[in-house]
Amino acid sequence: MSRYQQFVTNNFHFKPDQPEYWKTYLINNILLILIPIFLFLIFLNVFIHKLYVIALIDAIAIAISVALLWYFHSTSHVERVSMFAVGMYSLLLIAYILISGPNDYSFAWILVFPPVSYFLLGRDKGRIITIVSFLIIFVSVTWIQFASDASMFSIISLVNLIFSATCITILISFSELSRAKAYDFIRLKNEELLRLSHTDALTGISNRLKLDEVMLKELARIKRGTPNFSVIIGDLDLFKRFNDNFGHLAGDQILVEIASAIVPVCRLADTVGRWGGEEFLIICPETPLEGAMVLAEKIRKAVESLQLHRYGSITISLGVTTSRTQDDINTIIHRADKALYLAKSDGRNQVRSVTSFTQQLSLDDAD
């Protein structure tokens, strides 16, 4: 990346997908561009037009721009610097128009004000600041126009000012409204796509991708000292026989009902997902083995008591384990699977756990 790119993004303080990133880019560029512009105006006003007061205003503008750049790169406070920049431009513009005398071309700078205000402050604040500044300018110019003996500005310049500024303000307002709606639409669509990518299409609970993501986060947390988490894996008993008797459509409907029975039993902090087929996985953050065993038993009872209409009832076997610092996804799932195997081999419809490496080895030998 170039030094310029690094500078105008405050050393990449914000990411490109954040709205503040582009505001940071715009603020830095506006302040950088203003410095050479005002330097050139100082040269013109001092050596050619002999307008020393206007040159002083230009010098003040340069000093404020440099100060804002320094403050912005020190704090990266986008909203505050935006307000300072727009306020500075507004005050200097009013002073320039009122001091410049009978020069209609001074009004040209007013047309820059609406886009700067809207882009930096947003549609609502930008509209308020623009309207208030225009009213101050219009009232001040009108008062001076009628209070002085000589006409400072022609009537046609005032009329052109009003209509051109109004048109630009309306156009910028509609542009910002469209941009805001487009941004909200894209954001909502992205959130929906993310939700769908993490959701099991049949049951509406988390899918394996989401479960893997949560487990990786929990494994990272326990390495930083957070209390261990527990994992519960449940498998419906004799589900293949159920599918053979009633068909796969009925089996899908049962999976949906099982998921709906499991979710209310779990805490909001727990992640409930479909691990695959008729297997369900529950990740319980900061939960010891004893607490997970209690939850697994509640799940077992909830499934057992579920009324499946003409299909009768179904049961679930569950295996429970708790995390260890040296775990990865494979090791913790392997222990949970071993606990599930123990529950199945002991007669199904029960909860079993595996915690120690020795216990796991003995189960491996039994296999």
Give the residue numbers annotated as catalytic, written as ranges: 278
| CB < 8 Å & 24+ apart, contacts of 354-363 | 354/319, 354/320, 354/321, 355/289, 355/321, 355/322, 360/334, 360/335, 363/338
Task: Determine what percent of the chain falls in helix, strand and coil, rounding each to the nearest 5.
Answer: 70, 10, 20
The conformation of residue 310, written as its DSSP 8-state character, comes to: G
Report CA torsion sign: 13, 14, 16, 22.
negative
Task: Report the 10 Å Cβ neighbour count for 56.
Answer: 15
Cite the beta strand spans of the chain per DSSP E: 230-236, 271-276, 279-284, 316-322, 351-353
> Where do we find the tokens 């959701």?
199
10 Å CB burial of residue 6 (0-12, 13-18, 19+) is exposed
The token pair at 20 is: 């503040």
